[in-house]
Amino acid sequence: MPFLIAFGVAFVLTPVARRVGLAAGLVDRVTTDPLKIHSTQVSVLGGAAVVGAAFLALVARGEHVSWQLVVGVLAVLALGMLDDARPLPVTVRLLGQAGSAVLLVAGEVGSHRIGVAGEIGGVLLVMTCANAVNIVDGQDGLAGGLGGIAALGLAGLAVLASATLASDQALALAGALVGFVLWNVHPTRIFLGNGGAYALGSLLGLLALEVADADGWRGLVASGVCLGVFALELLMTIARRFRTGEALMHGDRLHSYDVVAVQVGSRMKSTAIFWAVGAAASSLGVAIGLLPLAVAVPAALAGLCLGALGGLRLWAVLRVRSSL
């Protein structure tokens, strides 16, 4: 089973990646920056362990792994690692993500199946997911855990749509993330890094596109629900920074998970709460995959309304905090 193979490989590879990162100086250093919440330098090579474990699991299963998938994921992983070592201009990051997304979409789906417009939309989806995961990656275990939960939901949808390769890819990614998160929860020993966040987001976006390709609009709606926590955080971040006039790529500690951490008094509890919300979103996504499209859309809208209500409550808290 891809999940178990990837889990075992990631559990072994992650501490190796930690040592390599520390030895090579590829670390998140301790500074006076309020964005930093750790007290010791931490390796940022967790993404390399996750990607390596997922690919090795697929190869061990005898699955076909296209060169476009390998090159596209490694390219965006390398882009993020360079950004970790020395922050890159926004334009360079976006161009690099776009190039990787084109390779991934063309190699795994292709315009002959979804049309040119669908391929362009797929590239934008992959890029959006890459940046959404990076935004969420600000708390121990959060992005990796939510990514694993979303991958399991997408695996379920792929099974329902008889997309065998996509289901194996999703299970391999989920297993790799679980193996990584065991080293990433508090006290964290390793981070995904920007490279890992970009690679994870790109793969989640690609999996959502593959499900949509196999199951049409219902698959797209259901996949969107599975990725709902990432989407909500991205939208809240865009709205908040638009209101304050700050650049979209500007970091802060006013994300929803930061607010929840303050309210419950613990970042570990905040992460657990978001995992539970992510599990609910993925469960709803899989349920939608079982419904006719006419019922799936209202169900997704109901889930969206619940998410929006939670987001509005957090938004009210954010406005109070930002005014202090």
Residue 142: the pLDDT is 96
In angstroms, rounded to a whole number, what is the distance separating the alpha carbons of residues 82 and 297?
A: 41
| Bridge partners of residue 28, in order along the sequence | 42
Structure tokens at 29: 């250093």
In angstroms, rounded to a whole number, what is the distance separating the alpha carbons of residues 206 and 123?
A: 9
Domain range for residue 311?
2-323
Residue 29: the pLDDT is 72
Which residues have CB under 8 Å from 288's CB, separation 6+?
218, 221, 222, 225, 296, 299, 300
Enumerate residue ranges in the chain where pLDDT < 70.
30-39, 110-114, 247-252, 314-315, 317-324
In angstroms, rounded to a whole number, what is the distance separating the alpha carbons of residues 203 and 192?
A: 14
Residue 208: the pLDDT is 96
Counting the structural domains of the chain, the total is 1
Structure tokens at 118: 């669908």
Structure tokens at 288: 């939608």
Note the pTM of the prediction, 2 decimals.
0.92
- Tell which residue, 176, 149, 173, 165, has the closest CA to residue 211: 165
